[in-house]
């Protein structure tokens, strides 16, 4: 499946659920050499987020997605998607909230991006809860 086809399908899904959804944050996470590396980093990102910020939800997995559910109560979920585009993994992050607290959704997205970036930098550090 190409990234364009996936995003088209996602757009239709968003339109279908617009009445229920309060907000979405979508972030481009760059590119990686392989899907396997992308999936490993995606799972480590969600695991690190939970280790630092808590969250009693669960992590869902497919062949090319990692979902972190209930990252702030049961209303903020995140999905890191690892499609292949032009021979590289082209990961992106989608964070969704079903309530009206868009600031909380933005904060969760920022935290996940920070953890992802720290992994790419290779320092292995997990951010402290200071924000």
Indicate the domain borders of the chain.
Answer: 3-121
Q: Which fold has domain 3-121?
A: TATA-Binding Protein (3.30.310)
Q: Are 97 and 23 in contact (CB under 8 A)?
A: yes
pLDDT tens track, the chain, 131 positions: 555 555 545 543 443 333 344 699 999 999 999 999 999 999 999 999 999 998 788 999 999 999 999 998 888 999 999 999 999 999 999 999 988 889 999 999 999 999 999 987 875 555 555 44
Q: How far apart are CA 84 and CA 37, in angstroms?
A: 12
pTM exceeds 0.75, yes or no: yes
- Per-residue tokens: 114: 């920070």
Give 130's DSSP letter: -
Q: How far apart are CA 39 and CA 91, in angstroms?
A: 9
Q: Are 93 and 29 in contact (CB under 8 A)?
A: yes
């Amino acid at each position: 499946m190409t990234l364009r086809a996936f995003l088209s399908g996602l757009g239709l899904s968003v339109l279908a659920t617009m009445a229920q959804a309060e907000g979405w944050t979508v972030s481009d996470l760059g590119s990686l050499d392989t899907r396997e590396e992308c999936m490993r980093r995606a799972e480590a990102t969600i695991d690190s987020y939970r280790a630092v910020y808590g969250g009693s939800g669960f992590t869902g997995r497919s062949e090319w997605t990692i979902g972190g559910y209930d990252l702030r109560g049961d209303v903020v979920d995140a999905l890191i998607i690892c499609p292949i585009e032009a021979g590289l993994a082209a990961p992106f992050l989608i964070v969704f909230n079903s309530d009206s607290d868009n600031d909380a959704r933005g904060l969760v997205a920022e935290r996940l991006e920070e953890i992802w970036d720290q992994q790419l930098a290779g320092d292995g550090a997990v951010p402290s809860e200071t924000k």
